[in-house]
Structure formats: C-alpha cells, structure tokens
Structure 1
Amino acid sequence: MTPKPSKADIEDIIANGVRSVYQPIVDVIHGEILGYEGLSRGPIGHALESPLQLFAHAEALGLLPELELTCRAQSVSQFTRRGFQGKLFLNSNPHAFVDPHYPKGRTIEYLRDSNLTPDHIVIELTEKYLTEDYEVLKQALEHYRKMGFQTAIDDLGAGYNGLRLWSEIQPDYVKLDKHFVQGINTDPVKQAFARSVIQLCDQLRTTLIVEGVETPAELELLQDYGVQYVQGFVMSRPDELPVSPSHKLFSLAQQRKVHDQHLAEDLASWVRPVDPYTELGEVWLRLEREPSTHAFPVVSEGKPTGFIQRSRIYELFSKPYGRELFSHKPVYKFIAPHSLIVNRSTGLSALSQMVTSEDDLMARQYFIVVDDDRQYLGVGNTRDLLRKLTDIKLRSARHANPLTHMPGNVPTNEYIEELIRQKQPFQLAYVDIDHFKPFNDTFGYSLGDELILKLSQLLKERLRGRGQYLGHIGGDDFVVVSTHNDPLPQLRLMQQLYREAVRNIVVSSGHSANAYRAIDRHGEERLFSLPTLSVGLLRVQAPMPDCLDALGGTLAQIKHQAKKLHGEGIALADWQES
C-alpha cells in the first residue's frame, strides 16, 4: 500500500517538480488556434503525477494556495518561453481563490515578467471543485474582470453547481464536460444535451468550448451542430510541446471554404450604423427618411453591439407621452435582446441553425455580419437566407439521381472544380459495377436497382464523413472525393462487402448464385460471374490541374485498368501535369 504523501513531499514538488503541459483549443470554423489550456502535472512517474491526486493532497495538507500559485507562474512563463500564440486558459481550483492565505496581485506580476497582458488570460474554474461560497467567489472574479481577465467554467455538467454558477458569474466561456462528448455521434441523449447547451450559450452570449473530442465522428457531428471551438485528442494531446495540429487546421479551413460555398457575407447589405449614444428621436427621423430600413445596427468604434428595430421604436413612441419620454434617450438602452452577430464565413446551414435556435423569431429577422476582427460589414435578413437555402435545395434536388437521391453530375463536377480552384489536394475514386448490363438484362431491372441501391448504401456507410463527397453520376457509376482521409482501406473492404451483398440479394430473390449465361456487348452469348466492383483511385495534388477537364485522360486510363482487375483490386494512379 502506497503511503500517504507528507507535507514535505508536497512542498518538494511545489519547489522543484511541477510541470506545465498545454493543449490547443481549436477554431474548427476558421481553422485557427484560439489558445491553449495550461495544465499542471507532478513529476513524471511519481505517485502524484496526476493533477487530481496532487491537488487533493495539497488541499488536505493546507498547501493549496502555494501549489496554485506555482502552477500559475509556471504556466505563464512557459507559455511565453515556448512561443505559443493566442489566449492562455489557466485551469484554477476555486477553493484556492477563497482561501484567506491566497496572496493578491501575483498573477499580474507573472504576466508582467513574461510580457503578457490580462487580455491574453482566461481564468478557468473547474466545476468539480466549486465552492458553495458564491459571494466570495463572485467578488474574486469581479476583481479579475476589472483587471482585464476573462473567465470560463470548466467541466460543465460534471458537478451539481455549474448552471447556478453560470447564471451567477456570467463567464465569457463555458467548456462542456467530456462525458457529454464521448460517443456523442451515437448517443441521442448526449446529442440533446449538447444542443441545449449550444442554444443556451447563444442566448446568453457565452462562448462554448467542447472539450474531450477524441474521434473524427464526434468532431463531425459537433461541426454539424455549429460548434466553433473544440479541444481534445482529435486535434492534439496535452504535452509540454504539443504536436501542432496545423495540417488538421488547414484541412478544416479548406473544407469550410469548399463545403460552405454560400456564406453569411453573401447576404450582407450595407446599412449605415448608428452610434450607441445617438438619441432615439434622431433614429426616428432616419426611419421616416428610409422607409425600407427596418433595423439599424448599433456600432461602437467599428464593432456592432446589436440592433434597434423599427417596430421597437414604434412601440415606444406609441405609448402615452412616449415621444416626450424617449426621444432623448440613447439608442443603446433599446437594443434588441439576443441580436444575432455572425462571422462573414459562417455557412448558411449553420446560420439557419442560429436563426431558428431563438424561440422569439421576431428577434432573429435580421443578423449583423462582421469580419474576423469583429468589424461591422453589413446586415442580412432571414427572408433572404430562407430564399437562398430554398434555391440551393431545389437546385440540389433537380440535379440529384432519382434512384439514390445522391448528387448527380452537375453538383459533383462543381464540387471538384471548387477543390481545384482552392488548390485543395484530393483523391478521386471512380466506382462502377462490373457486367451490370448483362445482369440487368438477365435478372430484370428491379433486381438491378437493388444492386445500385446496395452500392449507394455501402458507400454512405463506409465512406461517410466531412472529408468525403459521394456522387452518383449516372447508371451504375459512382464517385468518391476525399479531401483528407485516405479512402483506400474502406474501398477495399467495400469491394468484399459488395460481393457478399450481391450474392445474398440474388439468392434471396430465388435465383442461383452460380455463374449465368448472357449476351455480351458484342452480341455473343457467354458465361458471366455475379457482379463485382471496379474501383480506380486517382490522387490529385500539387501542382494542381487547371480544371476538371485536365483530369479526363488520366481518369479514362484508370477506369480501363480497374476493369481488368475484375473486382479483385484497386487501380491506383497519381495525376501528373503533362
């Protein structure tokens, strides 16, 4: 049995053994790093290497303030020394905050020594260790805020007081506990919880960070929900010098550009903003001069704070003595609650989720579009958003394959052309069914359709994901476009699964699974085996082709080579500029 550590053991670790490790927090919309969470560890291989054990024993022995300050000093100094950029999230134990022996002013000293300023720092409170003394804790946090620090609640949902603390201190960030993230792609309960937290963050203007994201499937679902900031092994593990997720960031940014070809900035129109201290009477005069304007953005030093809506001014001025009471009031007092402010690169699908997440749809008739520095660009309205989404869906339906409902030739070609324009490397797999016509002629179109539907089902099951595009370009011809995952292993597995599926379809329909006789394309009768899959895979990377047509010759060759393999392998080629 391991003996309990003594006070001297903890003091020795505080003096010599604390290590700082970091984990990046990633903006998966823009493909950038928001900052790093600074975490502390005991000596490698030591019984107190785990921070949970280390902090628990330090608190029991009355050494929590000393340990907390040492960890903070280490995190700040190493952050600068290692050249990290962005914000530093300092994981803090709330019990240390309210300890009467906790010295004041040390954090500012640490920042000054490392040439950092408070706006670089986010103080993270771990919900697992929340104190019940809310008033003291609020006073401490208010003290930090006045000095320019931001705040965050870590491990939201892991304890019992997270929501209460959220409402009490109104943090700048909340971090969803990993329990609600692990396996979220297959758990409807966790999905419902995550959607609720996302909606609550939107309504309370709190930035959500989802931590503990470990798999691409979890990341994909969270991206579909519109989550912007994630942290977890899927990007990088905590380390003294964490592996840079630069290749993943590039992939995310490029995928965003390609998948969201229609962005919020496309819907933005310039509306002359008003200053927050403009009198309401002046805005009323503008309304009379501009009858087509229904919402004015309120902007201070280039950054919007919300809307003042025509309907709200009418409501105020229609009250008894309303004009006399409100004409000289500053406009900022009447900004619409939950005014929606979005980045220019927000995709229309994510924007639609933001608009519909608010119960009061009147509050989301308009949205303000900003650039990456939160500078005002223009105003969009929900009517134009819905019209654009409807047009996109109608166009998609018009060009979809009627049997499988997968994208057809036109959207598939456009997608590949966009990849080429963005100079995004990709792999293009051509998939078709061997000897499909003689099978169709012999067994009938109904059974032939079953084979096509089975192939589309396998493609969706085996090659589904944010980095995969699936198209049905006609008859028994399909394509898979992969932008970051290597599709080769799944394509090989799919060939095997398809062979087994075809045999089962034929047998269950009452036919023999043996070879059959049919007329070939030359008009001769011969023996055919059951259909298999021909697959050719073309790798396209720099130097990129000028257009899709440039790939035509290489694609034709790879299709021809794939047919010679009779479903027993995959033809591979790299595109080369001729």
Structure 2
Amino acid sequence: MKHLSPSTLDDPLFWAEKGIINFQPIVNARSLRVHGLEALTRLPSESPFASIFELLDCAYARDQIHLVERILLTKAISRFSRWEMAHRVRLFCNIDNRVFDHHDSSPINIINHLKDSRLMPSNLCIEISERVPPDSDEKLARLVELYQKFNVRIAIDDFGRGYSGLETLTLVNPHYVKIDQFFTRHIDTEPRKAAIVQNVVRMAHSLGLLVVAEGVERPAEMRAVRDAGCDFVQGFLIARPTPHLADLSPSYPSVDTGRAPGHVTRRIGDLIVTPEPLRSGAPIAEAVARFRQGYDLPFIPVTDEDGFILGAVREADIRHLIFGDYSSALLRNKGIDQRVDAFAIRLPVGEISFSQEELVDAYIAAASDTGLIMAKDERYVGVLTNVALLQLASERAVAIARDQNPLTALPGNQSIQHHVAASLAAGERRTMVFFDFDNFKPFNDKYGFEAGDRALLMFAEQLARFQHNHCAFIGHIGGDDFFAALPVDAEEGMAAVADLLARFRSDVQSLYYHRDVAAGGIWSQDRFGKRRFFPLLRASAVVMPVDFASCRCDIAGILRRLSGGKAEAKRAENGIVLQSSCGQCDVDGDGAASTDWSMARNRRLADDSPPQRA
C-alpha cells in the first residue's frame, strides 16, 4: 500500500475494506462460558485516519457512513461465521447512530448476509453507540424496531457515558445494557461506582434486560461486577482483542474469580415449573388455545428456535382474543400480525445460578406481578411463579428475623459469618472492623440499662449511615460488640472509622448529666468492686485489611485475629488500631476455634474476672 493513488489516500470506503476485524470475548459472569464476541475494527498503520472514529466522521461528512458501516458489518459477520462456536453465541457489532438517519439503512442486506453465512438473525447483536447523538430519535426507534422484528438483538453501548443513556434505554427497548468501563475501573475500591452499577443492574433486570460489564481488567473488578449482579463480563482480564479466531476459547475457566460457578439449589429447583414455551413465529392462536384450555399461569414464555428467551405472551394482553365477542373474527383477520412475536413483551429473567437472595431481590426490584422466567445462559429453563417467589422471600425474611439482634435489628452472628465466608470464597479484598464500647459497664451501672440501650441504638443508627455512605456490611455481634466490612483499602477504611468514632464520641455526651460531661467522666465501681474514675463512653475499633484471595486462615482464624486487637485499641488515644493481615495470623495449638463470636466474647469476659485466691 505504499503507492496509493490520491483518490484512495483518504477514501473511507477503501480503508474500511482494509480494516482488520478483531474479536473480544464476552463471558457469563458465573460460568465463564463465552456468550458472544464483540467485533472491533483496527485500521492498518498506513491509514491516514488516527482511529476508526475519525474514519466514520469522514464518511459521514461525505454521505458514505451507511456504506462504511455495511462493509464493516459484513466483514465481521463473514469472519465470525468461520469460528466453530459461531452458531451457539452472538456477534456484537457497533453501529454509528448517524447510520439510522440515512434513507438507505434497511437491515435486509445484513439479514441476507447472515443467512448466506449460515447464521441466524438472533446470532447478531447491534450495539447502539452513544458517541454521537442521532439526528432523529424517531428514525432510530423505527429502524431498531425493524431489526428486532427480524430477531436481531440490540444493546446500548457505553451506558452511562453517552449523551442520553436513560432516554435511549426508553426509546429502543434493548436486550442488553453495556456498562461503560469508567464505572467498572476500580469498582472494588470506589463505593460510589459500586452503588451506581448495582442500581443500573437492578433497573435493567426489572425491565428484563441483561447487563454486560465492560473494561474489566483485574480479578477484584471481576468479583465486584459479578457481586453487583452483572450477567456478563468483557475486558482484558478475560482476553484481549485478537484477529485470530484460533486464539479464542469456548470458555475461560482460568480467570481468577475466586468463586465456583453457580448452580441451582435443591430448594429453587423444586420450585421451578416448566411450561412448554411458544416458539417464535408460531400463530397467536396457539396461545389463545392454551389459555382457553385452562393454562394456569398468567403468561406463556416465548423463545426462538435455539431456546433463547424472547419474552412472554400475557393472558391479560390477549384477553380480547380469548373471551371477546369477536375473537374468532380477529384471529382470522389477515390485516393483523398473527404471530406470537407481535404480542410478546419483555418480562424479568433470573439466571439459575442466582442465589435465593439474588432471585428475591430481582423479583422485588422488578415489582413483577407474573414471576420470573428462569434461564441458563439466556436459554429458557422454566418459571418461578409469584407463589414460589413469595415462599422464597418469606423464608429469607424468617431467616433474617431469627438472626437479627432484637435491640438494634442489625444482622447477627450467623449473617456476619456468612458474609465473611462469602468474601473468603470469592477471594475479595475487604477492610474489616471490630467495634467495642469503652467504659460501658460503669455507664450502665450509673445511668441504668435503658440509657445503655439508647447508647447502643445511637451507635447502630450511626452504623446504618456508615453502611450507606461506604457500601459496607454491618452487624451486631452482641452486647456492645459490632462488626463492619468495607470494600475499600486500609487507609480509606481507617479514615471512615475515625470519623464514625469521633461522631459517636460527641453525640453520646447527650446521654450524660452536664456535670459529668464537664468532669470528663464518672465515678463507679470496676469489675473488682473498687471505686474509681471512668472517662466518658466511647467506641474503639480494630481495623484489619484482608486479601481473601491469599488468606491462609479459616473463618474462625480471621474473626479471632480481628477481635484480638481489642485491648490495644482501648489503649490507643483515638481508639483505633490497625491489625496486621489475617494471612499472618496464628492458629491455636489444636487447630480448632469456635466460629461463634458470642462464645468468644463470654471467654473474654471470664478472662476479665477477679483473680482467685490460693
């Protein structure tokens, strides 16, 4: 290409033909199986265009953008079709929004090329880019609807960084939302990003959409986006883009996620019902007949020929065809689209790898009056009905209530141990905190247990705000002992804890008489019956950063080491001590330890008892 003619030197069509198609895997966040490949175009080094975006801008200026996008899309489809897994996964391709404004933007040519390549339209997913806004929202919506009628999937790319993400989400009714890498980068250490992603996931799942986390580069980010509920993951951690199909794998189990793939629990499996779905293209009369025959669910799932979930036909939406006076005439009307596809709507979908808690949360977020369609890698498995989900929700509520502390209503020992166990299994990084009150007994003795309860409730309320501000897990071990785990590093964790302790130390003075506040404390008997002066009530904290991916300890060792810094924290001027990582913790001589913190606390109280005389 050294001797280019002036006419081709900056010709977008010429350089589109010379573009090199790279593929990057998109994998299931839990099973790590490939769900699809994204096609990414790279230009040769000789190209006068600095990037593919610059080429597209030039093509738009010359009214050639529709031709350039067609070249790139057909090249990607042709290359993708040669991969042995192509018919089982999806090809994700970006299309510039400005294409949708062009009069020659019909998808017919692309659909025909898919068929020529022995692929189904459902194998293709068009990514709506928000790099530049479309000139006409109406044209965009109409063309997207046309693609969807052919069963092509739609995704919103770079969600959160474009011109009008929520507006586009409403306008095009996509199948996927791809969260921009800005929000996934360092999500494991930036609570605000984690909170945003969690809320986007809840919103998407409530609308029956799937979520792809883009730009994941580190195992900690992978664990964080998976825990936030993202369905699929894409990024350098999985694989870098490659032009060589032979470099691609059907799955990527070597990715260090720290957690085994999810599976259906026996309880959830027992509750799933499996009504036969309707197939895409089937006449709506099939749905009408089933409802007339006493079908006992409010909807019938709809799938394509490969079992991918397209939506569902609800009885309420076709009631006029089932019971109406003119139902027979309507079913014979040639002017009405009689396929089930025309009546199918998107309903919330739950993956079978979801935990009981995740399924209940998805159901609650969706505010569904129908239940959840259950899927495995987006293929139909069955249905969890409203009744089944209410049973799961009730069982979870009972379990939570049993474990809650009766005074503060915070999670108790079982929930704390479950959280630590989950973090250990997931290999996450957490900064863990053990809180304990200083001078609590003399305060109780002088002011009474009601005042002591008010102090505990005051701290619990401040912990609740602490939880909200730092995306923390909090719990009440018992008595005046509390627990927290934060998704931040030790330095940020220490600063957050110091602020919490200072606020409590100030607020708790409202529970004392003015004269005691002025004196800086009270006189009372110690544990040995000796009268002495005690400073005002405060909380102290042991802060311990833990990298669960390299931790050598069991749950007991982790919790024991955390609470072991209590005495040092009480002696510290600010009430905080930084404990060394649990990777360095000691193991008892017999290797055994209780995982019940209340038992450990009772042993500590016994250690504080008066010495016995000989």
TM more than 0.5: yes
Distance 2:266 2:473 in 1: 17
Aligned twin of 2:507: 505
User: Cα gap change, 1:7/1:105 in structure 2, threshold over 3 Å: closer, same or farther?
Assistant: same
Pairwise CA distance, 1:168: 1.9
- Provide the residue aligned with 1:154 in structure 2: 129
Give me the whole-angstrom Cα distance separating, in 2, the residues matched to 1:326 and 1:268: 32
Indicate the SS of the match to 1:569. strand
CA distance in structure 2 between the partners assigned to 1:354 and 1:501 by the alignment? 34
1:90 — aligned with what? none
Kindly indicate whether the alpha-carbon contact (under 8 Å) linking 1:31 and 1:253 is maintained by their aligned counterparts in 2.
no
- SS across alignment from 2:405: coil
**Matching residue within 525, 531, 540 for 1:525:** 531
Given residue 542 of structure 2, which amino acid in structure 1 is its aligned partner? V
Tell me which residue corresponds to 2:140: 165
Q: What is the CA-CA distance between 1:319 and the residue it aligns to? A: 4.8
After TM superposition, list the pairs within 5 Å mapping 1:8-87 onto structure 2. 10=10, 34-36=36-38, 38=40, 40=42, 49=50, 51-53=52-54, 55-56=56-57
In the other structure, the counterpart of 1:476 is 480
2:568 pairs, out of 556, 561, 564, with 564
What's the CA shift string for 1:403-462, capped at 9, x where partnerless?
Answer: 544322343344445666x57567554332333333444564376246513651464156
Question: Equivalent residue for 2:544?
Answer: 537
- Equivalence for 1:344: 352
Classify the secondary structure of the residue corresponding to 2:567: helix
Q: Distance in 2 between matches of 1:103 and 1:558?
A: 57
Are the equivalent residues in 2 in contact too, given 1:156–1:176 (CA < 8 A)? Answer: no
1:225 to 2:233 alignment = no
Q: 1:569 to 1:117 in 2, by over 3 A?
A: closer
Alignment of 1:82-101 (within 5 A): 93-94=65-66, 96-97=68-69
Alignment partner for residue 134 of structure 1, among 103, 126, 141? 103
Q: Matched residue of 1:471: which SS?
A: strand
Counterpart CA distance in 1 for 2:532 and 2:20 is 74
Query: How far did residue 167 of structure 1 move?
Result: 2.8
Correspondence list, 1:44-443, <5 A: 49=50, 51-53=52-54, 55-56=56-57, 93-94=65-66, 96-97=68-69, 121-127=91-97, 129-130=98-99, 132-144=101-113, 146-147=115-116, 148=119, 149-155=124-130, 158-162=133-137, 164-170=139-145, 171=147, 172-178=153-159, 194=166, 204=173, 206-215=175-184, 216=187, 217=193, 218-226=196-204, 228-233=210-215, 235=217, 242-244=236-238, 251=257, 267-272=271-276, 284=289, 288=293, 292=296, 297=301, 303=307, 307=312, 316=321, 318-319=323-324, 333=340, 337-338=344-345, 340=347, 342=349, 343-346=351-354, 347-349=358-360, 351-352=362-363, 355-356=366-367, 365-372=370-377, 374=379, 376-393=380-397, 395-397=399-401, 399-401=403-405, 404-416=408-420, 429-441=433-445
Verify the 8 A CA contact 2:436 2:481 in the aligned structure 1: yes
RMSD of aligned residue pairs (Cα, Å): 5.3
Structure 1 unaligned spans of 5+: 1-5, 66-92, 183-189, 358-363
Counterpart residue number, 2:247: none
Equivalent-residue separation in structure 2 for 1:257 and 1:198 (angstroms): 29
Deviations 1:296-316 (A, max 9, x none): 556665726555667788754
| 1:492 is aligned to 2:475 | no
1:339-377: CA deviations, max 9, x gaps?
A: 5372323532453257537xxxxxx52543232261x42
Q: What is the letter of the counterpart of residue 167 of structure 1?
A: R
2:224 is aligned to none
Q: Residue in 2 aligned with 1:85?
A: none
1:106 and 1:425 map into 2 onto residues whose CA distance is 41
TM-score by length of 2: 0.63
**Contact between 2:521 and 2:534, CA under 8 Å: does it hold in 1?**
yes
Note the alpha carbon deviations across 1:184-209, whole angstroms, 9 max, x for none.
xxxxxx8xx64x765666xx463332
Q: Which residue number corresponds to residue 452 of structure 1?
A: 459
CA distance in 2, matches of 1:105, 1:426: 44
Q: Which whole-Å CA distance do the structure 1 matches of 2:393 and 2:434 have between them?
A: 30
Give distance in 1, aligned partners of 2:54 and 2:295: 66
Change (3 A) 1:440 1:451: farther
Q: 8 Å contact 1:27–1:229 — kept in the other structure?
A: no
3-state SS, counterpart of residue 269 of structure 1: coil
SS in 1 for 2:396: helix
In the alignment of these two chains, the number of paired residues is 504
C-alpha separation in 1, matches of 2:157 and 2:20: 25
d(CA) in 2 for partners of 1:49 and 1:525? Answer: 80
Please state how far the C-alpha of 1:251 moved relative to its aligned partner. 4.7
Change (3 A) 1:253 1:22: farther
Q: CA deviation at 1:222?
A: 2.2
CA distance in 2, matches of 1:404, 1:439: 19
Deviation at 1:143, TM superposition (A): 4.6
8 Å contact 1:340–1:367 — kept in the other structure? yes
Distance across 1 between alignment mates of 2:267 and 2:169: 21
Change (3 A) 1:439 1:164: farther
The equivalent residue for 2:600 is none
**Identical residues among aligned pairs (%):** 17
How far did 1:492 drift?
1.8
Structure 1 437/335 Cα, relative in aligned 2: closer, same or farther at 3 Å?
farther
**Aligned CA distance change for structure 1 residues 26 and 110 (closer, same or farther; 3 Å):** closer
Q: 1:498 to 1:368 in 2, by over 3 A?
A: closer
Q: Structure 1, residues 130-177: CA drift from partner, whole Å, max 9, x if none?
A: 463234454554555555444232118834435631332335223255
Listed one character per residue, the Cα deviations across residues 5-49 of structure 1 (whole Å, up to 9, x for unaligned) are x9887579959x9888877756557666643451547869x9964
Q: Which secondary structure does the structure 1 equivalent of 2:275 belong to?
A: coil
Conserved 8 A contact 1:339-1:367: no
Task: Quote how far apart the aligned CAs of 1:563 are.
Answer: 1.9
Please give the secondary structure, in 1, of the residue aligned with 2:273. coil
SS of residue in 2 equivalent to 1:155: coil
Amino acid at match of 2:384: G
1:287–1:415: structure 2 CA closer, same or farther, 3 Å change rule? farther
Q: Residue by residue, what CA displacement relative to the aligned partner does 1:246-274 show, whole Å, maximum 9, x if unpaired?
A: 899765967x969x989975641133556
Change beyond 3 A, Cα 1:232–1:321: closer
Aligned-partner Cα distance in 2 for 1:47–1:522: 85
Aligned-partner Cα distance in 1 for 2:92–2:59: 24
CA–CA distance in structure 2, aligned partners of residues 51 and 144 of structure 1: 23
Q: Is the 8 A contact 1:369 1:378 kept in 2?
A: yes
| C-alpha distance in 2 between matches for 1:564 and 1:341 | 51
